[in-house]
Amino acid sequence: MPGAGPDVVLLDVALPDMDGFAVCRVLRRTAPGVTVVFCSVRDAEHYGDAVERSAAAGFLPKSSLSAAALALIVARQPDRR
């Protein structure tokens, strides 16, 4: 069923079996229209430039995570305006 997948994925960088960067790459290949936003208990700086190099739309530390903050990142995506 077309369009049945998610529009936005809030993805933790630290996962038990695969890191969020690898999951993001798979999501972008299998669902190219999905907007991925990373989150973590750590700040983005902890991951060096990996966040910037990824296909994710942005990053939110869990301490700043809110619906409004997530909506701002999603709204900045060209295909969401």
In a domain, 37, yes or no: yes
Burial class of residue 38, CB neighbours in 10 A (0-12, 13-18, 19+): buried
In tens, the pLDDT along 31-80 reads 988 999 999 999 888 998 999 999 999 999 999 999 999 999 999 987 65
* Full-model pTM: 0.86
Question: For residue 15, which amino acid is it?
Answer: L
Give the domain CATH number at 51.
Answer: 3.40.50.2300
Helix ranges restricted to H, the chain: 20-30, 50-53, 67-75
In a domain, 3, yes or no: no
Domain span at 58: 8-80
Q: Are 57 and 71 in contact (CB under 8 A)?
A: no
In a domain, 44, yes or no: yes
Report the domain count for the chain.
1
Provide Rg for the chain, Cα atoms.
12
Quick one: pLDDT at residue 23?
Answer: 95
